Amino acid sequence: MALSGSASVFRAETDDATLTARLASGDIHPTGPLWGRGDLPTAADAARLESRIAGTLAEFSAGLAAAGMTQERRPLRVIPEALTLAMPEAGQLVATFSLPRGAFATSVLREMVQVAGL
């Protein structure tokens, strides 16, 4: 899990009501690997899943490690803040929002368009 607004990550050892509430509130986010050298910080099913996926891209995964990249984690979701949508003219949509460091507005806009079916 990643703590919102920071680079802090931790392994969730159990699935409990506190974690569920923190996920729902946006205080923490599930993470995924940025591949490289070193051991995965995940365990059990999550580690097996991440290793299996990396194995499907073995040449790419090995190349990242060979290039000196180290294992890191990134949040798998981003929650835009101060989101507003406006339609100043027919056929025109204006979206404004702020994102945490490392998130990309183009990714948020792509997801908005896909959800809307455009």
Within 8 A by CB and 6+ apart from 42, the residues are 11, 33, 50
State CA 66 to chain mean position distance: 24
Where do the CATH 3.30.2340.10 domains begin and end in the chain? 2-75
13 pLDDT higher than 90: no
Percentage of the residues of the chain whose pLDDT score is greater than 70: 100
Architecture category of domain 2-75 in CATH = 2-Layer Sandwich (3.30)
Whether 34 shows a pLDDT value over 80: the answer reads yes
More confident residue, 55 or 102: 55
